[in-house]
Amino acid sequence: MKWGALFPGQGSQSVGMGKFLFDEFQTARHLFEEAGDALKQDMKKLCFEGPESDLQLTENTQPALVLVSTVTARVAHETTGIQIEASSGHSVGEYAALVHAGVLQFTDALQAVRARGRAMQKAVPVGQGAMCAVLGLQDDVVKKLCVEVEKASGFPLEPANFNSPGQVVVSGSAKAVEWMRENVKAEWMTEKLGPDSGKPKFIPLAVSAPFHCRLMKPAEEEMAVVLKGLTFSAPKTSVVQNLTASSSTSPEEIREKLIGQISGAVLWTQCQQELLGRGITKYAEFGAGRVLQGLAKKIAGDQAQVFGLNSIADLKALETATK
């Protein structure tokens, strides 16, 4: 049986994440202490007590997620013996996937995503960027929608996350998102994109910056310097990366894809499909929440079975499944 691993990204965080692992496993306690020393921050307090307003700060969220994902993966390996064939991480989750595959050192990844969070926040002044989920349209229609909105509004907008069929997040100028929500109605869709283009539903996201679009180029340039200063090793297991929905064995190629991911779209649907195409139908979601479990259901239906790991009972269920 082939097992895959999925590592969640921003939006999966919650106060209390990882505490059950810290309470029960020495490995978890050691990694929390190591992370706190590396970041010079009390990561136990941040993850277990918050407050939520602190945990939601991008520069805190990203290392906290990588920490909890790494802890979850290592404890799961120790307790269940699970052997992972290939993995993928959603946005910042890709860093945790690369730690798991032996490409990046744990503390290097933590410090990199702390810098990544700060750089992404700094790239666009608060309030000038926005992200919005577009529901009910095919991927190619969303791409055309962004082109038309950009033409009409005069402000940048592009697809940022292809999360599942019918769920694409767009990212760019807050003014472009505002124009889209006010002006894109059924008649507009028919006129600009054709009679069968669909009827979208828009859900604005509570984010502090427009991630994964060209407005992030300053952050990408800053992170290129950070990542080129780190050691990348050849992967011990395959990692399907967001930028291309493909894996590489070359450490330099992996680094370049990780840099490009900052302003490039997250091809999550395609990453999941790539894993399925390799015959991997069972997955552990290593980290907080069950977001990727939900997306896998939308992408793969009954083809994929994803085990979330948010409690001791979840760990025992995974152990049973791996026997």
Tell whether 209 is covered by a domain. Answer: no
Give the C-alpha distances (Å, rounded to integers) separating 182 from 149, 170, 178, 201.
11, 15, 6, 12
pLDDT tier at 282 (50, 70, 90 boundaries)?
very high
- Shared domain for 191 and 279, answered yes or no, is no
DSSP run (H or E) holding 240: none
Tell whether 52 is covered by a domain. Answer: yes
- Shared domain for 117 and 142, answered yes or no, is no
The answer to whether 322 touches 85, Cβ cutoff 8 Å, is no
82-105: average pLDDT: 98
- Show which of 185, 204, 223 is a domain's final residue: 204
- Show which of 204, 223, 258 is a domain's final residue: 204
pLDDT at 107: 98
- What percentage of the chain carries pLDDT values higher than 70? 100
Q: What is the mean pLDDT of the chain?
A: 97
pLDDT at 118: 95
When computed from its CA atoms, the radius of gyration of the chain, rounded to whole angstroms, is: 19
Tell whether 311 is covered by a domain. Answer: yes
65-79: average pLDDT: 98
- DSSP codes, 21-72: HHHH-HHHHHHHHHHHHHHTS-HHHHHHT--HHHHTSHHHHHHHHHHHHHHH
Question: What SS3 class is residue 307?
Answer: strand
- Shared domain for 258 and 278, answered yes or no, is yes
Residue 68 predicted with pLDDT over 90: yes
91: domain CATH number is 3.40.366.10
- Shared domain for 227 and 261, answered yes or no, is yes
Tell whether 40 is covered by a domain. Answer: yes
- Strands across the sheet containing 157-164: 157-164, 167-173, 129-135, 201-204
pLDDT tier at 295 (50, 70, 90 boundaries)?
very high
99-125: average pLDDT: 96
pLDDT at 173: 98
Structural domain harbouring 22: 3-123+214-322
pLDDT tier at 207 (50, 70, 90 boundaries)?
confident
Q: Dump pLDDT digits (tens) for 221-260.
A: 999 999 999 999 999 999 999 999 999 999 999 999 999 9
- What percentage of the chain carries pLDDT values higher than 90? 98
Residue 208 predicted with pLDDT over 90: no
143: domain CATH number is 3.30.70.250
Q: Which residues are catalytic, by number?
A: 91, 212
The answer to whether 43 touches 64, Cβ cutoff 8 Å, is yes
The answer to whether 92 touches 216, Cβ cutoff 8 Å, is no
- Show which of 175, 204, 233 is a domain's final residue: 204
Distance in angstroms (rounded) separating the CA atoms of residues 58 and 90 = 15
- Strands across the sheet containing 305-308: 238-239, 86-89, 3-7, 282-285, 305-308
- Shared domain for 265 and 286, answered yes or no, is yes
Residue 206 predicted with pLDDT over 90: no
Distance in angstroms (rounded) separating the CA atoms of residues 92 and 116 = 9
DSSP run (H or E) holding 138: none
- Shared domain for 19 and 118, answered yes or no, is yes
Side chain identity, residue 11 = G
Number of domains in the chain: 2
Distance in angstroms (rounded) separating the CA atoms of residues 74 and 31 = 10
174-195: average pLDDT: 96
- Shared domain for 224 and 82, answered yes or no, is yes
Q: Dump pLDDT digits (tens) for 6-33.
A: 999 999 999 999 999 999 999 999 999 9
pLDDT at 126: 86
Residue 1 predicted with pLDDT over 90: no
